[in-house]
Amino acid sequence: MSTKDNKGLKILMLHGYTQSGPRFHDKTRALEKALIKAFPSSTLHYPTGPLPLRPADIPGFVPTSQEIGNEDETDSFAWWRRHSGDSPLYTGMDKGLEKIAESIRQEGPFDGVIGFSQGGAGTAIVASLLEPGRRQAFETTYNKDPQKFKYPPCFVNDDGQAIQPPMKFGIVYSGFAAPFELYSAFYEPKITTPVLHFLGSLDTLVDETRGRVLIDFCESGSQRVVTHPGGHFLPSQKVWLDAAIGFVKECVIGAATKKDIKEEGVEDMDVPF
C-alpha cells in the first residue's frame, strides 16, 4: 500500500494543563499539516477540558495590570486538578472523562489520540479505557478496594459495549501516569494500544523519570520512545514530525508498509524505532 492509498484519519487531540482546544490547535499546526499530508482528508478534533482555571491554579502565573480584577475570565482549562496538599487524588477527573466521552460520541469514532502533558496522561487513559477487558480489570480492583477509581460509566453505551473500538494508536508528548495506588486499573494489565512517547531531555515540568513510569505501564512490544533535546513542549522540527508520521503509518497501515516507511526516511532517523 502506498501513501497515496491512505485514507483520512480522525484523531482526538487532548491539550495540556492551562491550555484549551484552540490554543493546542495553534501549537500543533505543523503536526496537523504533516498528518494531513500523509493521510489526506484527515481531521483533528480539539475539545477543551471542562475545568476552568483561575490564576491561582496556574503555576508561576503573575497577572498583568490589565488582568488584575478579571480573575473570572480565563483561557486556561484542565481535564482534572491535583488535590490540595500531598494527596494523590485528582479532582474533577470524572468531568474530564465525561467531556472526552462526549467528544467521542459526537465526533468519533477516532482512529487515534494525541495529547500533551496532562493531555498526554489523558491519551494513555483513554487508550486504556477502550481496550478489551479493561472494565473487568476495574471491577476486580474496585471490589478489592472501594477507594479505587471506578470505570467511568460515560465510556459505556446503553448496550453495555464501549463507546468506540480500541484506538489504533496514541502519541504522548511529555506525558505521565496518574498516581498509581488509586488509579492502578488504568495500567494493570499494561496498556496494549500502540503508543509513541516523546520525552524532552530538558523537560523540568515532567521529567524523564515521570515519563518513564508511564512508559513502563505500556506493553514493551507495542510502545516506542523518542527523546528530543528540548523542554516541556511539542517538538515541531521535521525529524520529530517524521517520527510521529512513521509511527502512525506503522499502526494504521500495517507491517506490510514498513518498506514504504523506510523509503521515506523514517527508519533512518536518529530515533529508537
Q: Just list the catalytic residues.
A: 117, 203, 232
The CB density around residue 71, as the number of other CB atoms within 10 Å, is 11
Long-range CB contacts for residues 215-219, cutoff 8 Å, separation at least 24: 217/124, 217/177, 217/186, 217/187, 217/188, 217/190, 217/191, 218/124, 218/190, 218/191, 218/192, 218/193, 219/190, 219/191, 219/192
Per-residue cell: 168: 489504533
Report which of 141, 224, 147 is spatially closest to residue 186, judged by C-alpha positions: 141
Per-residue cell: 242: 517524521
